[in-house]
């Protein structure tokens, strides 16, 4: 079977070609057709073949024309999976211009809130972070057509099943639900019974799953019926009690006076006061969650770095200020890898973490830094919000952040004390970013002079450049002189003899034997033996 048989849009087909997905896997062949038909599904699935749920999700978006608001919601318990799935959505949906938002527990929450409010068509989220944002902003999900629960077996930890249920309560309507799980554990069973209706089951015992979902439906029906019966009985009982009871107002007043109970005479005014108190509490909570600020007593500094001297400047600065707990932020994993190789040779004790690093390696390296075994932590491509550190002695911005908020978050990592500070290495390319940071923060960092050894190195480099230029100039002059000498020598050569009209050289008659003579009668003399060759030539030209 081919993707053309699924009726996929040309834009999605182009996206699949970009990521080198040429033909459907056996699992995709089984799952995609019923998913495109709108069926609920429970699928046994291991991470790796994400196209099995992304292809039908993106096809739904491309076939519905222009869409607005969140239409596809993908929930996963793993922070790494959020990033991985979001990147695949971007790559596969590029030609269809499908945007997505990633909401992980380690991301910047303010930016994630804006993404939710903007209404990206696809949202990939950790349940905990999503419900946190929805609750705080009092938002609902009114337009969601498809909910995908990835790695449902992993929802067993951290009370995530209940978080998913809370999210589904804020999802209006009855969206199609696809659940993918490695095992039919307790979490998978709870999610299946709660959200799947007449599902297509693949890879699990279908009878057990359908029995569980049908039991859930019948239980909910029985509960609703019992609830209605209970309401009716309660109502009848209250009416009967009202008929049998006669209020003795004097007795009530006497008992209230004895108990010193204050009676609310105007409940509406009391309700307004309660609402005001709630607003004040909400405002206080909001104030506690304000954007980070850079304290004025924090030592901020920068070093203006000349071209091609950033690494040497960093090394010289580290050597001058080497203490425990130094965090160096770089823009990418590639940069931290290079810095790690160089700094490790110094023997200062360094570890590096970056986006995409496996959790076990992340924990191991991060633990070495927090325990004090390593002095320097290199961070590549991660936000300061993703690093759980209370205080460090020095933060170094090897690459100046292009967002002011990130600069502030990094400042929050710096602890109190005379040695605590944040230093930025500012190159010509970073000037605009640092200017914007200074403008937003309100006060400028102080400049630290370029380390002496870097100055000396740059000085030697300049002298070397001058020598090279001088040598090149001399060589160039020498070549020019040599060319001129050759030209002069050519000019001094004896000029060539002029040629006659027929191309033969004109002879010098004075140099020929016999001169230019004739007989007394003016006749040409006849050649004689004594004349020889010269005589013959003389007669020829005469």
Q: What is the pLDDT of residue 216?
A: 54
The residues pairing with 149 across neighbouring beta strands, listed in sequence order, are 75, 179
Residue 100 three-state SS:
strand
**DSSP H or E segment with residue 54:** helix 51-63
* Tally of residues, the chain: 542
Q: What is the pLDDT of residue 325?
A: 87
Mean pLDDT, 10 residues at a time, over the chain (542 residues)? 86 91 92 94 87 94 77 94 92 89 88 88 94 92 94 86 93 93 92 93 78 55 49 50 51 58 50 57 47 62 86 90 88 88 90 87 89 91 84 89 85 69 86 79 79 78 57 57 57 49 44 41 46 58 56
**Domains assigned to the chain:** 3-220 (3.40.50.300), 299-455 (3.40.50.300), 509-541 (no CATH)
Q: What is the pTM of this model?
A: 0.45
Answer yes or no: are the C-beta atoms of 185 and 155 closer than 8 Å. no
Q: What is the pLDDT of residue 501?
A: 43
**388 Cβ neighbours under 8 A, 6+ residues apart:** none
Q: What is the pLDDT of residue 244?
A: 47
Structure tokens that stand for 287 in this block: 């104030």
Edge to edge, the sheet with strand 446-447 lists 350-354, 376-380, 326-330, 394-397, 421-426, 299-304, 446-447
Q: What is the pLDDT of residue 513?
A: 39
Could you give the CA distance from residue 508 to residue 56 in angstroms, rounded to a whole number? 104
> What is residue 385's DSSP assignment?
G
Residue 92 three-state SS:
helix
Q: What is the pLDDT of residue 87?
A: 92
Q: What is the pLDDT of residue 307?
A: 79
Could you give the CA distance from residue 92 to residue 46 in angstroms, rounded to a whole number? 20
């Amino acid at each position: 079977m081919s993707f053309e048989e699924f009726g996929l849009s040309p834009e999605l087909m182009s996206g699949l070609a970009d990521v080198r997905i040429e033909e459907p896997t056996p699992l995709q062949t089984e799952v995609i057709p019923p998913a495109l038909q709108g069926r609920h599904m429970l699928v046994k699935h291991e991470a790796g073949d994400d196209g099995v749920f992304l292809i039908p999700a993106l096809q739904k978006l491309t076939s519905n024309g222009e869409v607005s608001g969140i239409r596809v919601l993908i929930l996963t318990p793993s922070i790494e999976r959020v990033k991985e799935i979001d990147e695949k959505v971007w790559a596969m949906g590029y030609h269809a211009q499908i945007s997505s938002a990633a909401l992980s527990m380690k991301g910047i929450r303010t930016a994630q809130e804006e993404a939710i409010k903007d209404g990206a068509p696809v949202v990939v989220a950790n349940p905990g972070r999503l419900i946190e944002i929805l609750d705080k902003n009092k938002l609902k999900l009114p337009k969601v057509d498809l909910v995908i629960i990835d790695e449902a077996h992993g929802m067993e930890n951290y009370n995530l099943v209940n978080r998913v249920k809370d999210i589904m309560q804020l999802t209006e309507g009855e969206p199609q639900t696809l659940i993918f799980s490695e095992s039919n554990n307790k979490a998978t069973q709870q999610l299946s019974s709660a959200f799947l209706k007449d599902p297509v089951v693949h890879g699990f015992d279908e009878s057990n799953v359908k029995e569980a979902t049908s039991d859930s439906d019948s239980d909910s029906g029985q509960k609703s019926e019992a609830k209605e019966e209970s309401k009716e009985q309660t109502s009848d009982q209250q009416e009967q009690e009202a008929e049998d009871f006669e209020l003795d107002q004097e007795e009530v007043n006497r008992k209230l006076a004895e108990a010193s109970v204050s009676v609310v005479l105007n409940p509406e005014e009391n309700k307004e006061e309660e609402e005001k108190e709630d607003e004040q509490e909400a405002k206080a909570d909001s104030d506690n969650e304000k954007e980070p600020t850079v304290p004025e007593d924090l030592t901020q500094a920068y070093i203006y770095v000349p071209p091609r001297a950033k690494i040497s400047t960093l090394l010289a600065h580290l050597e001058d200020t080497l203490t425990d707990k130094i965090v160096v932020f770089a823009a990418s994993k590639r940069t931290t890898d290079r810095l790690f190789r160089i700094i490790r040779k110094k023997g200062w004790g360094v570890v590096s973490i970056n986006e995409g690093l496996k959790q076990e390696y992340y924990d191991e390296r991060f633990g070495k830094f927090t325990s004090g075994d390593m002095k320097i932590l290199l961070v590549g491509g991660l936000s300061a919000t993703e690093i759980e550190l209370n205080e460090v002695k020095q933060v170094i911005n090897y690459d100046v952040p292009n967002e002011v908020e990130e600069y502030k978050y990094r400042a929050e990592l710096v602890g109190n004390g005379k040695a605590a500070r944040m230093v930025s290495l500012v190159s010509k390319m970073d000037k605009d970013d640092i200017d914007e940071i200074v403008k937003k923060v309100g006060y400028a960092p102080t400049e630290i002079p370029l380390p002496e050894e870097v100055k000396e190195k740059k000085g030697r480099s300049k002298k070397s450049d001058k020598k090279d230029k001088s040598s090149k100039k001399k060589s160039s002059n020498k070549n020019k002189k040599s060319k001129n000498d050759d030209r002069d020598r050519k000019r001094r050569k004896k000029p060539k003899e002029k040629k006659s009209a027929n191309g033969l050289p004109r002879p010098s008659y004075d140099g020929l034997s016999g001169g230019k003579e004739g007989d007394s009668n003016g006749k040409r003399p006849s050649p004689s033996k004594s004349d020889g060759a010269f005589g013959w030539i003389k007669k020829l030209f005469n």
